[in-house]
Amino acid sequence: MAAADADGTAGTLGSNSDIEGLFPSVWKFFASVGRFLMKLIIAITLAASMAGCPTESEHLASPAATYDASWYKIESWGGEYPNGFTMATDITINIRGRPDLDAPKSISCVLRKGATYHPWNDKRVISDRLEFVSFTKIETYELKASSTVELSPQSGDGNTTTEFKKGDRWSYLADLAEGNFLIKFGDKIYIAGQDLYEKSIKVEAPVNSGQKSISSEKSAHEWLKLKCANDTVGWIFFNEIKNAPGFSKPNIIGYGAAADLRSQPTSAAKRPHQ
């Protein structure tokens, strides 16, 4: 845009102050729009960055259609001796592309005899990129009487003494090892033991005083992601194969250790005496 100088020649508006002086209302309008757009860009950037940081509440839901917010997801198989399996023979099965019971079994997967799929078989966990995932139905429990219970924060930062009042409610989330399990109390997640369970009663379906331990009553949906022998990748639902032909109990060689089962070489025929 050009303006006439004092001598009548055309000159260029070279500064913001020149524009602001000539069009104060227009300048203020565009300045406010600019500030709004800058705030909008910052907000979008922060939202995008936070979207990549999962929180505890995000574990309560799964992208799989089968598991809604009433399920809790944990990236492990629970129990003092986790489930697993060793292949009794070479076999080809069809598996799913995601941990979802409604997903089609559209992936052909070759499994080799002797291969042990277990959280404790470190070599195969690495070589086949194994991922062990569990989904557990969340259940609500209520304290039968006021009580003091030792809990451990999920972060592992020591124990904390928690005062429960009669009627306080907590949510069972997932089974762990040695009789421990994950709970949610208030807005925090803790590791609890059998003493809390024994002092509580299930809200939806009250049980008798002779209730069993919590770990013996719970059953999770356990999924295994693996790279098959034919290089395909997919998910196996453990409940579908645990008693199936060709699958046997895991080859556990010691507490915390499992290994592939090597084929025994056929003994050579003895040479006849000369």
Cβ pair 254, 91 in contact under 8 A: no
Tens digits of per-residue pLDDT, 2-11? 444 434 433 4
Tens digits of per-residue pLDDT, 130-140? 999 999 999 99
Eight-state DSSP code of residue 212: P
Least confident of 29-43, 156-170, 186-200, 202-216: 29-43
- Per-residue model confidence (pLDDT) at position 64: 53
**Structure token digits, residue 252:** 């556990």
**Structure token digits, residue 260:** 């592939």
Which amino acid, residue 229?
A
pLDDT exceeds 80 at position 31: no
The percentage of the chain sitting over the pLDDT mark of 90, rounded to a whole number, equals: 54
- Per-residue model confidence (pLDDT) at position 116: 98
- Per-residue model confidence (pLDDT) at position 172: 94
Residue 66 — pLDDT band, cuts 50, 70, 90? confident
From the list 93, 192, 94, 177, the residue with the least C-alpha distance to 134 is 177
- Per-residue model confidence (pLDDT) at position 97: 97
The pLDDT mean for the chain works out to: 76
CA triple 202-208-213, angle to 5 deg: 65
Q: In the predicted model, what is the mean pLDDT of residues 52-81?
A: 66
pLDDT exceeds 70 at position 153: yes
Tens digits of per-residue pLDDT, 187-242? 899 999 989 999 999 997 544 444 444 444 456 899 999 999 999 999 999 999 99
| H-type alpha helices, 52-160 | 122-127
pLDDT exceeds 70 at position 46: no
Query: pTM for the full model?
Result: 0.66
Residue 159 — pLDDT band, cuts 50, 70, 90? confident
Specify the pairing of strand 257-258 against strand 107-111: unpaired
Which amino acid, residue 159?
N
More confident residue, 33 or 265: 265
